Chains A and B, each alone.
Chain A
């Protein structure tokens, strides 16, 4: 069974602070790593799709890095804002037409 692990499971951060969390996955047969943001009562929203070792992607204050050889990805949020409060999901795509998701990191920004 393919295991995608995210840590921590939950995180409380003061507004204005920066934070990061981790997604770990088996490094063999890697194809793509996805990050999603899921706000309560809304659709999960794709943040990044990363395919190459050493990939770095950025979207506003959010960025992500990928290390396929050691099997991890980091998501960084700079200067957290209350609207960043959400669950952040990573998912591994190894072909075979499906994604395997981690349990998510629930982020709460305290004003």
Chain B
């Protein structure tokens, strides 16, 4: 298993500003994942954070909007840039274990953009 913490747990932000979310894992992992759940929607993968290389973004998500850092094997950050109300979501980081990719999640960051 893995223990994952996220900061902040929640925030209310003004339109046009940026927020950086931190994710810390209690053990070294190769890949970390960032997800978003907009109200009433599925949990959707934003990107995979790879240590030592650029993050891999899913269709519909771009680096300018969601820059990701991965400075070491236990830590990653996701920035939500130039926020709009549509960015109001729960953001989760996770790691995967095992051949079937069982996911271990952080507690999430609940973001409200006004």
Structural contact, B107 and A99, CB atoms closer than 8 A: no
B31 to chain A: which residues have CB within 8 Å?
97
Which residue of chain A is the closest to B40 with respect to CB atoms? Answer: A103
Instruction: List the A side residues contacting B43 at CB < 8 Å.
Output: 44, 89, 91, 101, 104
CB within 8 Å for A41 and B107 given contacts A98-B48, A101-B42, A102-B42: yes
Bound complex: CA A42 to CA B104 (Å): 12
Chain B residues within an 8 Å CB radius of A99: 45, 101, 103
Closest to A95 in B: B101
B-chain residues with CB within 8 Å of residue A93 when the two chains form the complex: 100-101
Query: Is the pair B4, A103 in contact by a Cβ cutoff of 8 Å?
Result: no
B53 partner residues in chain A, CB cutoff 8 A: none
Interface size on B, residues (CB 8 A): 24
Interface residue tally for chain A (C-beta within 8 Å): 24
- Select the residue from B4, B48, B105 with max chain A CB neighbours within 10 A: B105
The CA-CA distance from A42 to B106 in the complex, in Å, is 8
Looking at the complex, which one of B41, B58, B105 makes contact with A44 (CB distance below 8 Å)? B105
CB distance from B106 to the nearest CB of A (A): 6
- Secondary structure dominating the interface of B: strand
Question: Quick one: CB contact mask for A14-41 with B, threshold 8 Å, 1 for yes?
Answer: 0000000000000000011010100001
CA A89 – CA B41 in complex, angstroms?
12
CB contacts under 8 Å to A, within B93-114, are 96, 98, 100-108
Contact status B100-A32, CB under 8 Å: yes
List residues of A whose CB falls within 8 A of some B CB.
4, 31-32, 34, 36, 41-46, 49, 51, 89, 91, 93, 97-104
Q: Which of B's residues lie within 8 Å of A, judged by CB?
A: 4, 9, 31, 33, 40-45, 48, 58, 92, 96, 98, 100-108
Task: State the 4 A-B residue pairs at the shortest beta-carbon distance, nearest first.
Answer: A32-B100, A101-B43, A43-B105, A44-B105
Some 14 contacts from A to B, beta carbons below 8 A apart, are: A4-B42, A32-B100, A34-B100, A36-B103, A41-B9, A43-B104, A43-B105, A44-B43, A45-B105, A46-B102, A93-B100, A98-B101, A99-B103, A102-B42
